[in-house]
Amino acid sequence: MIKYKLQCEKNHEFTSWFANSSEFERLKKKKMLECIYCNSKDIKKSIMSPRVINKNKENKDYQKEIKKMKKDLTELRKFVENNFEYVGDKFARKVREVYYDENKKKNIYGISTEKERKDLMEEGIDLVSIPWIDREN
């Protein structure tokens, strides 16, 4: 796994993990990377110093940290799947129903396009994107 410091066209900086450098390039080419602040898909790697691990204990600690992150993300996914209704690609329409109708308050999750997310944000509807870790990963 490799961690990159990323930057969008608006100079927002954030970090993300990738299986390797070619995975970053593949996702960037397919426009599957987006800024966590503004949803821009114009993402590049920023300058970052690598973390070099040369001691066995440090390596074990680092591996424990990675396993904990994976466990936390897996638990988050399980929580969302058990407590939220999956609405698929109808997310934008369904979230508006929930937001504007007091009688329809419920927890939902799904997928949306960049434009849909932008439109929802302009309406004042706050969204959270969660890294969705594969169960088999």
For 21-73, the pLDDT digits (tens) are 888 888 999 988 998 889 899 999 876 656 665 566 667 777 888 888 888 88
pTM confidence score? 0.52
Provide the strand spans (E) within 12-99.
Answer: 13-18, 43-45, 85-88
Contacts of 135 (CB under 8 A, 6+ apart): 74, 77
Gap between the Cα atoms of 2 and 19, Å rounded: 6
